Amino acid sequence: MAKSAEQTTSQSHDLRQILRASMDALLVPLLAVLTAMILGGLVIAFAGGNPIYAYLGLFQGAFGSTKALSETAVWATPYIFAGLAVALAFKGGLFNIGAEGQLAFGAVVSALIGYALPDLLGISLPAIIHIPLAVGGGMLAGALWAAIPGALKAYTGGHEVINTIMMNYIALNMTSFLLNAPMKDPNPLNVVARTPSIAESARIPPLFEGFRVHWGFALALLVAFLVWWLLWKTTLGFEIRTVGANPDAAKYAGINVKRTIVLTMALSGLLAGLAGTIEVTALNYRHELGFSVGYGFDAIAIALLGKTHPLGVVIAAILFGAMRNGATRMQFLTQIPVDIISVIQALILLLVAAEAIIRYLYRLRAREERVVLTRGWGG
**Residues forming beta bridges with residue 206, ordered by sequence position:** 214
Residue 258 forms part of a structural domain: yes
**pLDDT at residue number 376:** 47
Q: Which residues are within 8 A (CB) of 3 and not within 5 positions of it... i.e. 6 or more apart?
A: none
- For residue 356, name the pLDDT band (cuts at 50, 70, 90): confident
**Residues forming beta bridges with residue 288, ordered by sequence position:** 194
Among 244, 225, 299, 237, CA closest to 269: 299
- Rounded to whole angstroms, how far apart are CA atoms 375 and 355? 24
Domain carrying residue 132: 78-311
Residue 34 forms part of a structural domain: no
Residue 155 forms part of a structural domain: yes
- Asked if 75 and 81 count as a contact pair (C-beta separation under 8 A), the reply is no
**pLDDT at residue number 119:** 86
pLDDT (tens digit, 9 = 90+) per residue, 80-123?
999 999 999 999 999 999 999 999 999 999 999 999 998 888 88
Phi and psi at 214, nearest 5°, equal: -125, 180
Helices (H), strands (E): how many in the chain?
14, 0
Residue 63 forms part of a structural domain: no
**pLDDT at residue number 10:** 58
Identify the three-state secondary structure at position 290. Answer: coil
Type of residue numbered 24 = D
Residue 115 forms part of a structural domain: yes
Residue 356 forms part of a structural domain: no
Q: Is the pLDDT of residue 369 over 60?
A: no
Residue 136 forms part of a structural domain: yes
- Asked if 82 and 324 count as a contact pair (C-beta separation under 8 A), the reply is no
- Rounded to whole angstroms, how far apart are CA atoms 248 and 240? 13
**pLDDT at residue number 366:** 57
State how many domains the chain has: 1
**Residues forming beta bridges with residue 194, ordered by sequence position:** 288
- Rounded to whole angstroms, how far apart are CA atoms 272 and 126? 26
The burial class, CB within 10 Å (0-12 / 13-18 / 19+), for 147 is: buried
pTM: 0.89
Identify the three-state secondary structure at position 325. Answer: helix
Residue 214 forms part of a structural domain: yes
pLDDT (tens digit, 9 = 90+) per residue, 44-78?
888 888 899 889 999 999 999 999 999 999 999 99
